[in-house]
Amino acid sequence: MPRRYTNLNDVSNKKNFRDMLKWMKERRGKVKNLAFSIEQCPEKKIAEIKENREKTSYTWIGHSTFLIQMNGLNILTDPVWAKRMGVQKRLTEPGIPLKELPNIDAVIISHAHYDHLDFPTLKQLKGTPHYFVPAGLKTLFNRKGYQNVTEMNWWEYRQYKDMTFHFVPAQHWTRRSLGDMNTSHWGGWILQGTTPSNTMYFVGDTGYFDGFKEIGSRFNIDTVFMPIGAYEPEWFMADSNISPEDSVQAFIELKAKTFVPMHYGAYRLADDTGPEALDRLVKEWKSKKLPMEKLRALRIGESFI
């Protein structure tokens, strides 16, 4: 029997058929305006980031995909350029076309859900990237023909060139087929450069959980890439997908310097919309009286260098 991974404190997100029916009934009663989408950046710095090997930068491609440039490396997070997710069409175009990416040195994968792990996208990447994946996923990568793969358990870390990659807990689950539920792990990634302050935290997919406090106590985090979408209905989603309000609380507990929201606007995975998620985030940010300069909501394709 394959190993089945679990959350901290054995938090389970299992839902039954009755729960699904309740959600579907609620959805039929909701009217959502999908005409408004997250804005594309009008002045993208594609040429600059293609040549960059010195400056630290990050560019939001959309959903949970970022191109992060640190210590001379080009790193992709959960690369997904898919035009559809199940029956749902992608709502916004990726911020940078795949063919315009620079050579990729490393790819970090948070978990195996299709909106975070898309092998047709990986097949088109330039370069010979090293893949950092959760425990239980290396066999699948090898079977797909990828050999430069390191799989890790929570709190493990690996040196790669001049950087350190730490795999940290999240509260989620995963499945790619009927029989493989939770046979691989899920989590976030801490990316550490050569200086302690040059540390980024890619949260991945998660509900709000006590792990944020411990992660904040272990690392001096500069930038956190935090999910804010796919939270509605909250009675169904809360164990696995953090709400905008709880994401602000998590940021406070992490004691990070900059909040970059993600996981909203590209695919309709739940009942909320991208603009709704961003509006709720900003409202909660202001209610907590946090400095607005610490909130960096990027437009799609926008780079911070």
Question: How far is the C-alpha of 221 from the C-alpha of 13, rounded, in Å?
Answer: 28
State the DSSP code for 122: H
In the chain, the amino acid numbered 229 is G
Asked if the bond preceding 233 is cis, omega within 30° of 0, the reply is yes
122 with 92: CB under 8 angstroms?
no
Q: Does the residue 19 lie in any domain?
A: no
Cβ neighbors of 285 (< 8 A, separation 6 or more) are: 248, 259, 292, 295
> Residue 45: which residues within 8 A CB-CB, separation 6 or more?
59, 303, 305
> Is 29 inside a domain boundary?
no
Is there a domain that residue 142 lies in? Answer: yes
Q: Write the CB contacts of 294 (distance below 8 Å, at least 6 apart in sequence).
A: 257, 258, 259
The boundaries of the domain holding residue 107 are: 39-304
Collect the ranges in the chain with pLDDT lower than 70: 195-197
Q: Which of 202, 180, 178, 198 is nearest to 190 (CA)?
A: 202
Q: Does residue 41 contact residue 95 with C-beta atoms inside 8 Å?
A: yes
pLDDT of 197: 62
Give the H/E segment covering residue 138: helix 138-143
| Domain contains 260 | yes
* pLDDT the model gives residue 24: 86
Q: What CATH number does residue 300 fall under?
A: 3.60.15.10
Of the candidates 24, 39, 78, the residue with the CA atom closest to the CA atom of residue 206: 78
Q: How many domains does the chain have?
A: 1
The pLDDT of residue 14: 82
- Count of Cβ atoms closer than 10 Å to residue 12 Cβ: 11
Residue 138 lies in a domain: yes
* pLDDT at site 31: 80
Q: Is residue 30 part of a domain?
A: no
Q: What is the pLDDT of residue 196?
A: 60
Place of tokens 């400095």: 291
On whether residue 211 sits in a domain, the answer given is yes
Q: What is the pLDDT of residue 229?
A: 97
Asked if residue 209 lies in contact with residue 238, where contact means CB atoms within 8 angstroms, the answer is: no
Q: Does a structural domain hold residue 201?
A: yes
Sort strands 223-227 and 199-202 into parallel, antiparallel or unpaired.
Answer: parallel
Structural contact between residues 128 and 148, judged by C-beta atoms closer than 8 angstroms: yes
